[in-house]
Structure formats: C-alpha cells, structure tokens
Amino acid sequence: MNMTGPPSLPLELLERVLPGAKLLPDSILQAADRRGIAYEFVMISDGPDLDAPDAKCELFDLVFAGKSFPEGQVVVVTDESFRSGQLIRCMGSDLRRTMIHSPHFVFDGGVIFLWREMAALSVFHHEGGFAHIGW
C-alpha cells in the first residue's frame, strides 16, 4: 500500500486503540499509560546476533513468543514506511513469513503492528524492547 500524505489507514486503526497517539512507539506507550491500559514493556537483553542469517526469524519469535495471531489483516508500519511510503499488510497467519522475507531488516528501528480484527497493537522500540497493548 502506498502512503500518499499522512498514513491514513494506520492512523485510523491506531485511533481505535489509542486516540491521539502518533505512529511512534514512544507516543503509543505514553498514550497507553495516560489511558491506564496495562502492558508489559520487555527489554531484550540477550537477543540474537543481528548479523546472523537467521536474526530476523529469532527476533520475530522472541517478540511474538506465546502469541497467537488473530484472523484477518495486520498492518505493519516501520521506519522504512516513512522513507518509502510503503506499508506492510498481510494476513496475521502470514506475518512471520512476510517479516522474514522482507527485503529490509524490519527490526532496525521502531515497528508498529496494528491488528485490524481486534483493538490491539504491538510495538518494537528502536532501543530493543517491545510491548503488546490490548492483547
């Protein structure tokens, strides 16, 4: 999906979960705090070697360990989305494969996963932590 102007679809989905938040992990976490929405922010202290060939897979599995993805579409906004104007959209069941086969290392900055079928999202912070909000 090409983003022309403001990324309306991600903002529309974000407004369903956290009205007023911007498409940045810090803004999302602050908005969740203001609204009293509980989440656990997990710092990755012993993550995979990011230069290893399977780093994408290991990091994805670490972030989403124990989560079962809802049916329907997920919209992914990465730092690359703001440079290229492209969002990643796929079915939840295809998310792992889509992330692993992305031409970009998706986790090289902030990443926001917006689940269309439920009022929930996941964020990966560029400093190496993640949270799931509304799960």
pLDDT in tens, 92-104: 999 999 988 888 7
Q: How far apart are CA 102 and CA 56, in angstroms?
A: 9
92 DSSP assignment? G
Per-residue pLDDT averaged across 61-73, rounded? 90
Which residue type occupies 61?
Answer: D
| E strand residue ranges, 1-83 | 42-43, 73-78
pLDDT at 65: 93
Task: At 50, list the tokens.
Answer: 């990011």
Whole-structure pTM value: 0.86
What order of strands is seen across the sheet that includes strand 42-43?
42-43, 129-133, 120-125, 111-115, 73-78, 88-91
Q: Which residue has the higher pLDDT, 108 or 7?
A: 108
Q: How far apart are CA 69 and CA 55, in angstroms?
A: 21
Max Cα-Cα span within the chain: 40
